Amino acid sequence: MTAYSPPYRDMLFVINELFGLEKINHLEPYQEVTSDILSAVLEEAGRFSREVLSPINQKGDQEGAVIRDGKVTTAMGFREAYRSFVEAGWNGLTGPTGYGGQGLPLLLGAAVEEMWHSSNMAFTLCPLLTRGAIEAIHYAGSQALKEKYLPAMVSGRWAGTMNLTEPQAGSDLSSVKTKAVPDGVGYRIFGQKIFITYGDHDFTENIIHLVLARLPDAPPGVKGLSLFVVPKVLVDTGGQLGKTNDIRTVSLEHKLGIHGSPTCVLAYGDGEGAYGEILGEPNRGLELMFVMMNAARFSVGVQGLALAEKAYQEASGYAHNRIQGIPVGMTSPVPIVHHPDVRRMLASMKSRVEACRVLAYYGGLMLDLAHAEENVAKRQRAQERSDLLTPIVKGFCTEMGVNVASEALQVFGGMGYIEETGAAQTMRDARITTIYEGTTGIQANDLLGRKLIRDQGAGVMALLEEIKSSLAIHANTDALKPLADTLSDVVKGVESATWHLMRESTTRPATAFGAAVPYLHLMGWLVTAWLMLESAGLADANKGAGEAGEIFYRTKWATVNYFFRHELPKYKVFQEQVCNGGETLMALDPQWL
């Protein structure tokens, strides 16, 4: 099995050279983030990934979490790894400084999180959910609520979860039935939640659940949902733990992958009701939950990238060591990496991984600017770009993660289909990323409905204008002009598809939304191609930067060229589906399917 090796050089290239730390470290919250600090954090996070998380990844898959007498025990080594994680201060890396966090930018946080997910996704889901809960409480909580919960959550002493789904209410949250009954002090929660990641575990002394529920006088549908902070163990005003709350872990889900992560069914209110405190205003729970959900969606996009990187490393390591067959033009057996089709698969995987990395980190950069930019107009533009990018990062990167993991299995051949190599686990783990925190279809509907139609295409057109400005510069460079010309065709295709959907949405909305997923893929290819072109420009300018540097930049140049010639042409399929596929889709009666 190939040991995971953090791709430091490419991470530093994207952060330092492609985007530039100067874009954020002039802002007040990030002024201490220098290149030296960036390198030091990445190296230490990489060491933790290699030495602590990666060695227990397969063990977590084989053992899984178990439940006995209503108590959940995680796989061997997970609890000890979490203790080391917290003691090293990793849980508060991007957390609010006022409550013990380090307040580092998401541009850096995305790279660190990529390493953790590559080395052990099942483990990393716990701090991922905690960070989302921290963000929601920090955004909407009263000062008393923040002081009561955030210090222990930011430090990692307590964990957090997100409770949306119920047996009768999957993605349709209008069907949520969990009740919240006022008791004069707070609220009593009654109901059942399913699919709760790390809903119970043995990492921490307390777990803070964020629960969607309905007040007695709530209006029907999603407008009647409120959000409640419901601790596993009750907390007094001084932050001390009291008795266990009325919450019961009913069972653990039996899953395709991420076996090391306990996914729980939780029952609230078997007795007097689980005590909870309202977060924000009544009947605005879904709005607040989306603060947490959007943070999770970005992180799941990083998961897609991380598992694609892991799958690529596994396949590349195997291909360089497995000797089988005599490739065309050779006279003796050599490692299979020399077979043209294996080389094609590895090149495809490598180029997709690097494309997803620039997309995901760009999403992190926009989130940082939306949070910290002092200029109001610039901050608003960053927020609008971040809103547009979130469904693309989540949807496109996770779909690529599944694709790369599947291709890696093909490189392994039959050896990939057995568990010892680890390739099968990577594929099984990757498969969930396109589903939870909103399926690819839900991301696409969000992109089309909330990010395109609602603002009449303004956000997409602003992005296209920025890309056109880049093209005008690169078209004057001989080496980059062929790539720029190709991207220009993609821009035209996206413009055509965008206006087509805008028209269709007013007259035939079902047809428009039938093309939402192809449109998300089309946008993913557009943004990644733009950022890969920018990468090629840097590679072309630095090809002579010393022997080691020259190898990196030559490799980057070759990878971008492969991406443009072999991968990017797929955009045409999605453009065709958007612009001309509606009639054939709607001609299929649901009874025929």
Asked which of 230, 259, 287 is the last residue of a domain, the reply is 287
- 574 part of a folded domain: yes
CA distance 67 to 176: 26
Torsions phi, psi for 197 (to 5 deg): -65, 125
Residue 568 to residues 146, 373, 543, 561: CA-CA distances in angstroms?
46, 33, 24, 10
Q: 455 is in which domain, residue-wise?
A: 442-592
Beta strands 158-163 and 66-68 are: unpaired
CA distance 458 to 462: 6
**Confidence tier at 295 by pLDDT (50, 70, 90):** confident
- 325 part of a folded domain: no
**Confidence tier at 292 by pLDDT (50, 70, 90):** confident
**Predicted TM-score (pTM) of this structure:** 0.96
CB 489 within 8 A of CB 564: no
Give the per-residue pLDDT at 291.
83
CA distance 99 to 584: 55
- Residue 173 scores a pLDDT above 90: no
Give the per-residue pLDDT at 184.
92
- 57 part of a folded domain: no
Give the highest mean pLDDT range of 168-172, 371-375, 489-493: 489-493
**Confidence tier at 169 by pLDDT (50, 70, 90):** confident
Our measurement of the distance from residue 90's CA atom to the centroid of its chain's CA atoms, rounded to an integer in Å, reads: 18
Interval 41-68: pLDDT, tens: 999 999 999 999 999 999 999 999 999 9
CB 242 within 8 A of CB 236: yes
Closest by alpha carbon to 62, among 2, 122, 149? Answer: 122
- Return the DSSP state at 216: T
Asked which of 257, 287, 317 is the last residue of a domain, the reply is 287
- 135 part of a folded domain: no
Which of 277, 407, 437, 504 is catalytic? The answer is 437
- 194 part of a folded domain: yes
- 505 part of a folded domain: yes
Q: What one-letter code names the amino acid at 300?
A: V
CATH number (domain holding residue 203): 2.40.110.20
- Residue 524 scores a pLDDT above 90: yes
- Residue 531 scores a pLDDT above 80: yes
CB 186 within 8 A of CB 275: yes
- Residue 237 scores a pLDDT above 90: no
Closest by alpha carbon to 433, among 460, 408, 406, 410? Answer: 406
Residues contacting 292, CB < 8 A, separation 6+: 132, 133, 135, 136, 162, 210
Interval 466-483: pLDDT, tens: 999 999 999 889 999 999
- 546 part of a folded domain: yes
| Number of independent structural domains in the chain | 2
Give the per-residue pLDDT at 242.
95
Asked which of 287, 309, 335 is the last residue of a domain, the reply is 287
Task: Report the alpha-carbon angle 20-26-29, nearest 5.
Answer: 110
Give the per-residue pLDDT at 286.
87
Say if residue 487 is exposed, middle or buried (CB neighbours under 10 Å; 0-12, 13-18, 19+).
Answer: buried
Give the per-residue pLDDT at 294.
85
- 269 part of a folded domain: yes
Give the per-residue pLDDT at 370.
95
Active site residue 437: yes
CB 360 within 8 A of CB 393: yes
Q: Helix (H, G, I), strand (E, B), or coil: what is residue 193?
A: strand
Q: What one-letter code names the amino acid at 569?
A: P
Supply 188's token pair: 């009593």
